[in-house]
Chains A and B, each alone.
Chain A
Amino acid sequence: MPTDLTESIIEENAPEDLSIRMAIDEAPKPSAAAGASGTRVKDLLAVIVPPIVGVTGFLLLWAILAPRVNTSLGVLPGPGDVLGAGRDLWNEFTASRAESAAFYEAQDIRNAELAAAGQPLQDFKFSGPPTFIDQIWTSLGTVALGFLIGTVVAVPVGLLSGLSTLFKRAINPLVQVFKPVSPLAWLPIVTMVISAVLTSPDPILPKSFIISALVVTLNSLWPTLINTSIGASSVDKDLINVADVLRLGWWTRLRKIILPSSMPYIFTGMRLSLGVGWMVLIAAEMLAQNPGLGKFVWDEFQNGSSRSLSRIMFAVVVIGIIGFLLDRLMGLLESFVSRNRT
């Protein structure tokens, strides 16, 4: 882990976050030195029991305290209500699937009659409301697009700034200023720009989708950019010297030396970026009307029905679990890349 960097942007953010993450990663792994089976069982218990105790304790506290909080929508839902809300959402999903099937069936019948009458056929898509499951997919798609754009921009810029101190100095002020801006502040600007640029009456992707994705990009590209920059600037001096001796061209040098040794940094950055992106997405969707989980939460808040709070809480849990899974996925990629470093 590089610690002697003069650029404060780099020091502030990444290494600290990383060390925490690493600590979490290390913790559950049973010590490799454990020999005797007794210690192994003990180690295993030490790994399994605390999380169970933690989660159970939380659920218990929740179940006990929630009924004591009286909101204007009734008492705060406990774990059971939230689970019930999840079941309801699943039932709504299956009901919507059935409705959709019925719609297409009816359309086929109509079309058969239209065809018999020599009329042009209908080709309507089912226009029912998006279900919770649809909203999860929309959100994942939005983050994927935003994250992809972010990575495509951040990695080359990061490499350049790692390789050229002048370039780094040039973009440093911009990175410093734009990095801490909240998604809510970006949203109006992105909305106006997209509305002005995309004037097609029938765009391939809905505007709200692109707006949310771009907000995700703007907020999530910084960790990748910064880490890539660190990676590219902290390549082993010996390797650079070897490259000098071999008189490697710029391209070969990038491909054979810089990229391989900055890969782990890039992936660590991407992992952080994806985490930020997922977090930011919910806020962006709430206001951009992109039909994802953020809009689900906002709509339910606006509904203000007695079921709304438990549905929102269920969404919160799902958002958390998905965020966790995305992080694990990137963590796996990250460690895979680190292992194949040499």
Chain B
Amino acid sequence: MTHNIGRRELILGLAASGALAACGGSETSVLAAQTTDGTTPTSAPASSSALSVPEKASLTLGFIKLTDMAPLAIAKENGYFLDEGLNVTIEAQANWKVLLDGVIDGQLDGAHMLAGQPLAASIGYGTAAELIAPLSLDLNGNGITVSNEVWDIVRPNLPLNADGVPEHPISASVLRPVIDQFASQGKQFNMGMVFPVSTHNYELRYWLAAGGIEPGYYTPGDAVGEVAAEVPLSVTPPPQMPSTMEAGTIDGYCVGEPWNQAAVAKGIGVPIATDQHVKATNPEKVFGLRKDFAEQNPNTTKALLRALIRAQAWLDENNNANREAAVEILSKPNYVGADYDVIAASMTGVFTFEHGDTRPAPDFNIFFRDFAGYPFYSDAIWYLTQMRRWGQIADDKTDQWYFDAANDVYRPDLYMSAASSLVDDGMIGAADVPDTDGFRDPEDDFIDSIVFNGREPNAYLESLPIGLKAGQIVTPTGVEG
């Protein structure tokens, strides 16, 4: 056994030295700092000559077919990567697990990731690896959809607003009669989410718990999370959500766009809440990469971030003026690939709940406004508290542990280095970059109005009515302690 470990370390060591050797090799000579203007379609101003040569210029980035991968597609299609001297291939991945493994074993240099993925990997939940998140890709962008069957039971009980459509936000407590009715028929009320450490899992759990419904706990080491669940949640890849619900395996789901609008377009379900109902600004995807990659390729990392931040700025520019052009790009088969209308339904500032119930939703996808790109430590800590709340983190941790874990993964220093060079180049405004120590002010924009202060994670956990408290552990029979 010890022999094996020794061998493995040896191999890893060799691999690392190989990677270092490669850095000094041909890649370096591939490209010099790109200074001359007019050389590329949208060339960088001369002042970016401070930019040094990317150590690795040809890169492959992974993504899942969701609209919030937009910054990657835009950075590529608008030539921002080329401006930074990078030749980037963008490759769709089958599911989040494949994507994560691709980044960890080096087939992908970076990827559009769930905010929880690099955090979970670095604290060793699921696949352990040292990943970092130097950029938040967007805020919000998810919805919770229920099947027509469920909606038909829920709808008559909903209070209507002045326009004669259901008043928002809708609390999960409206599901209580449905759960009871299903139970009397001997059925379970099942819902889908996309990955055990996905933002969707935590949002869906938050929404259910805020409505007084138990979404279930994780026992140490398992990834099922259905202990004591009134509504068991299962994992389904985003693009398969609508068809899985159509097949009756699940009665609802929480997923990113365009898969809620797809349910509306196909007439198989109704979005009942969007994630800004659950939490007004909800950090959604991050750009994740390996820590050692960023350390060995600092210039490449900075160039990548510059290109992605420019793409984010373009996406939100002039009050979302470029969104239609963005939808055109995203609807190509090699990116998101869904129909133009389906993607446009959420990307262009409106969100359709039912036929005839389309409401303005300017904040449904935020890529740049409200400092959307800055990786706040407090956002990371919120996800970590939710991991503890549902048992993915098996034991109590000190506040300091939360700060350290967030500090290891979220890297505002890398973000600021790229963003301030863009400010210097006049590509983004100085006011677009926050002046912060990485913690947001205490947030009270949750559906149940419980205040979250990133500086006091344990106190926050105690304030949540449903969820693990200090000293509690989860066993297969239930919560103990």
- The count of chain A contact residues (Cβ–Cβ below 8 Å) is 42
**Complex CA–CA separation, A199 to B16 (angstroms):** 9
Q: Are B36 and A72 in contact (CB under 8 A)?
A: no
**Chain A residues within an 8 Å CB radius of B242:** 72, 304
CB distance from A102 to the nearest CB of B (A): 10
For B266, list chain A residues within 8 Å (CB).
72-73
B58 touches A127 (CB 8 A): yes
A306 touches B339 (CB 8 A): yes
Q: Are A208 and B338 in contact (CB under 8 A)?
A: no
Give the distance in Å from the alpha carbon of A201 to the alpha carbon of B331 in the complex: 33
Contact in complex: B36, A113 (CB < 8 Å): yes
Q: What A residues does B321 contact at CB under 8 A?
A: none
The residues in B between 241 and 257 inclusive whose CB is less than 8 angstroms from any CB of A are: 242-243, 246
Known: A120-B32, A199-B14, A289-B93. A72 touches B58 (CB 8 A): no
Give the complex CA separation of A196 and B105 in angstroms: 9
Q: Residue B338 contacts which of A122, A124, A127, A303 (CB distance < 8 angstroms)?
A: A303
What sequence of 0s and 1s flags, for each residue 34-53 of chain B, a beta carbon within 8 Å of any chain A beta carbon? Answer: 01100111000000000000
A46 at the interface (CB under 8 A from B): no
B31 to chain A: which residues have CB within 8 Å?
A: 120, 122
Is the C-beta of B158 less than 8 angstroms from some C-beta in chain A?
no
| A127 and chain B: residue at smallest CB distance | B89
- Number of B interface residues in the complex (CB < 8 A): 53
How far does the alpha carbon of A305 sit from the alpha carbon of B41 in the complex, in Å? 31
Task: Assess the B39–A109 pair: CB atoms within 8 A.
Answer: yes
Q: Does A247 contact B (CB under 8 A)?
A: no
B239 and A201: CB pair below 8 A?
no
Does B451 count as interface, using CB distance less than 8 angstroms? no
Question: Is B87 a contact of A299 with CB atoms below 8 Å?
Answer: no
Interchain nearest-CB distance for B111 vs A (Å): 12
Once the chains are docked, how many angstroms separate the CA of A183 from the CA of B331?
32
CB distance A202 to B22 under 8 Å? yes
- The answer, yes or no, to whether B91 is at the interface (CB within 8 Å) is yes
Asked whether A106 lies within 8 Å of B40 as measured between CB atoms, the reply is yes
Question: A180 interface residue, CB < 8 Å from B?
Answer: no
Say yes or no: is B92 at the interface (Cβ < 8 Å to chain A): yes
With A72-B246, A113-B39, A306-B339 given, is the CB distance from A298 to B105 under 8 Å?
Answer: no
A residues with CB within 8 A of B: 72-73, 106, 109-110, 113-114, 117, 119-120, 122-125, 127, 129, 191, 195-196, 199-202, 206-208, 286-287, 289, 291, 298-308, 311
Q: 9 extra interchain contacts, Cβ-Cβ under 8 A, other than A200-B18, A302-B65?
A: A72-B268, A117-B35, A119-B32, A120-B32, A122-B87, A124-B57, A127-B58, A286-B94, A304-B338
Return 19 A-B CB contacts under 8 Å, by A number. Answer: A72-B242, A72-B243, A72-B246, A73-B266, A106-B41, A113-B39, A114-B32, A114-B39, A122-B85, A123-B30, A124-B57, A125-B87, A195-B101, A201-B106, A207-B105, A286-B94, A289-B91, A302-B92, A304-B337
